[in-house]
Structure 1
Amino acid sequence: MKLWYGPPALRPLVGICFLVLGAMGMLVLMASFVLARQTPYDGGRTGTFTLTEFTGCDRFKPPEQRCGWYGDFVSDDGAVVRRRQELVGGLPKGAQAGETLRTRDIELSGLIYPLDHEPEGFSQAINFGTVVTATFVIGLALSRPWRFRAWLRSRSSRPA
């Protein structure tokens, strides 16, 4: 059974594209695991977050519905003040501007986490990892890097 019906010269190019996409996806996956590990386990600075701007709610019905908020973060020692930061995880509908809550800043651009934030299940990361790994394996199968050396030898042994 033939797996590739396109021009033979296009096969390595498509394979290399898949390899690059797979490698970039693996880097993103590793960064998300580091972030997921750092957030609930005492990473960053604790402080208070004052709600300032409501951004809307998601499509779910209460009690699963979460609403987005922007606000200002001030660390406990007052050394770090961050304006217009986004609260990760949201709050139940009915929160009011001016309310404060205990949060953690892990110095990720624009995101503040509640102290009681439970990291989302790893199911999304596992699904993403499966897709990224499959992309990388398809790239290997199409580009066949183990045949590159033999191809170079055959090209160099030809008369000019």
Structure 2
Amino acid sequence: LLLGLGLAESELTKPLSVLSGGQKKLVGLARLILLNPDVLLLDEPDNHLDLPGKLFLEKLIQDYEGAVVIISHDRYLLDAVVTHIAELEDGKLTMFEGDYSSFIADKDLRLARQEELFRAQQHEIKRMEIAIKRFAIWGKVYDNEKFAAKAKTMQKRLDK
């Protein structure tokens, strides 16, 4: 397991205290996997791993029987191993089923829709503001309470 994660054979017999931070992380990861808990919580697990170590880790995660929660900036690792994504943004948790690339595509689509709705809302606000001004002017010019009342009603609706 340690060799697969990238620890050199010469390091296997050394005391833990003389290993580097990255090597200690590999030992900790191997220990955790051997304990076989129901849930693995991994924070940037592929840091300090070379390419063969990353591929070995991907296979370990893919084959793991329990749940694996991964915090990572490595989109390649996420694409290779995740089936669900939980995103915490602005205090709101959003769940997504699929790999990381699909999540990003879906998020981009949702953001584009939100932007389009915002633009449409801004257009409607401008249209209503123009109509309110028009009714208010007509109310004054023609001394017509109906136009003035219409302007007030529309303004109340806009203020909501």
TM-score, length basis structure 2: 0.29
TM-score, length basis structure 1: 0.29
Structure with the higher strand share, 1 or 2: 1
Greater length-normalized contact order (CA 8 Å, ≥ 6 residues apart): 1
Structure with the higher helix share, 1 or 2: 2
Larger Rg: 2
